[in-house]
């Protein structure tokens, strides 16, 4: 009996490949991984390592430390509105050795400067950042973002309700000069945008593939 069990033993990395294959057609719902995780503690541990994305909602807030320990290989995190203090949560995330490449901060009141500063000091792998549908943006927010996340390839700042007084156009020029890897940017409803700012983007961002600028009426047709 011992020999039979040894014959059928698979190391964890083999099981990981099996579970990845089974889950390929069900990435969003992850129902396959949920079912497999119920089989044994070992399978639960393996499937936990395969989890790469997390949506933070209000209900999860008290359990985030345990959740971050449970899923050590997260690469994508999304905040839902009213999930709690984003500065505190981002600071909490920075305490873990994650390789985060995508961060979605949609529908917050303002850009959480303190949290992003703590986050950027420990996590330098970010390639995609969304700070869309926010109530306001300061003239210093754009320079801060590009300074802290120079490897960004995708940036979504769509639909900001109010822009603070100041020269936001300088921020666009700074962005275009600093983000050399930028491929996609969404600046829809940035009403201060003009032809000159659009020129800066295309002239300085050599890898740029897509610019979304709906509602930017200062740009000529």
Per residue in 143-195, pLDDT (tens digit) is 999 999 999 999 999 999 888 767 888 999 999 999 999 999 999 999 999 99
Q: What is the residue-wise DSSP string for 90-107?
A: HHHHTTS-----EEE-TT
pLDDT at 207 over 60: yes
Number of neighbours of residue 3 by Cβ within 10 angstroms: 6
**113 SS3 class:** helix
The dihedral sign for the CA sequence 107, 113, 115, 121: positive
The confidence score (pLDDT) of residue 40 equals: 63
Q: Where are the domains of the chain?
A: 1-50, 52-212
Instruction: Give domain 52-212's CATH superfamily.
Output: Ribonuclease Inhibitor (3.80.10.10)
The Cα 189–Cα 214 span in angstroms is 6
Q: C-alpha angle with apex 98: 126 to 63, nearest 5 degrees?
A: 120
Number of neighbours of residue 99 by Cβ within 10 angstroms: 13
pTM of the predicted protein model: 0.85
At which residue do the structure tokens 């959480």 appear? Answer: 112
The Cα 160–Cα 212 span in angstroms is 14
Calculate the CA 207 to chain-centre distance.
20
Best CA proximity match to 30, nearest among 15, 45, 48: 48
Contact at 8 Å (CB) between 159 and 188? yes
Query: 31-74 pLDDT, tens per residue?
Result: 666 666 666 677 767 777 888 899 999 888 899 999 999 999 99
At which residue do the structure tokens 């899923």 appear? Answer: 71
pLDDT at 28 over 60: no
Q: C-alpha angle with apex 205: 207 to 182, nearest 5 degrees?
A: 60
Residue 4: pLDDT band (50, 70, 90) is very low
């Amino acid at each position: 009996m011992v020999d039979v069990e040894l014959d059928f033993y698979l190391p964890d990395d083999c099981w990981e490949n099996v579970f990845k294959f089974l889950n390929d057609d069900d990435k969003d719902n992850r129902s396959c991984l949920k079912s497999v995780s119920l089989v044994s503690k070992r399978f639960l541990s393996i499937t936990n390592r395969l989890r790469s994305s997390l949506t933070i909602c209000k209900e999860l807030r008290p359990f985030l430390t345990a959740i971050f320990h449970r899923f050590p290989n997260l690469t994508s995190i999304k905040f839902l509105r009213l999930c709690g203090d984003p500065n505190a949560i981002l600071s909490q995330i920075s305490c873990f050795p994650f390789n985060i490449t995508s961060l979605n901060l949609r529908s917050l009141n303002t850009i959480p400067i303190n949290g992003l500063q703590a986050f950027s000091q420990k996590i330098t792998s970010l390639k995609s950042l969304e700070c869309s549908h926010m109530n306001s943006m300061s003239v210093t927010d754009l320079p801060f973002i590009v300074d802290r996340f120079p490897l960004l390839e995708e940036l979504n700042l769509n639909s900001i309700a109010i822009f603070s007084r100041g020269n936001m156009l300088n921020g666009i020029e700074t962005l275009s000069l600093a983000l050399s890897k930028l491929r996609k940017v969404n600046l829809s409803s940035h009403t201060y945008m003009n032809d000159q700012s659009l020129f800066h983007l295309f002239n300085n961002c050599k890898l740029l593939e897509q610019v979304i600028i709906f509602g930017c009426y200062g740009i000529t047709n």
